């Protein structure tokens, strides 16, 4: 598996992941996580592996946004 796990990078080098029943228009297949109707209580967990702990002193993950 590569550095980004096969996901398409944004123009700024980040990764946007879309969690939705239907794939949003314009979203690469690799960046869409399908969610079945009726799934409730969804938790999103970010797991990172980075041996350089010094970087974590100034980095923080983006906040999840609900759209649509």
User: Would you place residue 1 in the very low, low, confident or very high pLDDT band (cuts 50, 70, 90)?
Assistant: very low
Residue 19 three-state SS: strand
pLDDT digits (tens, 9 = 90+) for 30-57: 999 888 877 677 778 888 776 688 888 8
* d(C-alpha 48, C-alpha 53), whole Å: 11
User: CA distances (Å), 15 to each of 20, 39, 60, 61, in order?
Assistant: 16, 24, 14, 11
Among 25-29, 55-59, 64-68, the range scoring the smallest mean pLDDT is: 64-68
* Number of C-beta neighbours around residue 53 at 10 A: 7
């Amino acid at each position: 598996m590569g550095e980004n796990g096969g996901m398409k990078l944004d123009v700024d080098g980040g990764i946007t992941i879309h969690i939705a029943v239907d794939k949003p228009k314009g979203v690469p297949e690799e960046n869409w996580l399908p969610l079945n109707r009726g799934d409730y209580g969804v938790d999103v967990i970010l797991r990172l592996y980075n041996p350089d702990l010094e970087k974590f002193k100034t980095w923080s993950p983006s906040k999840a946004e609900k759209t649509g």
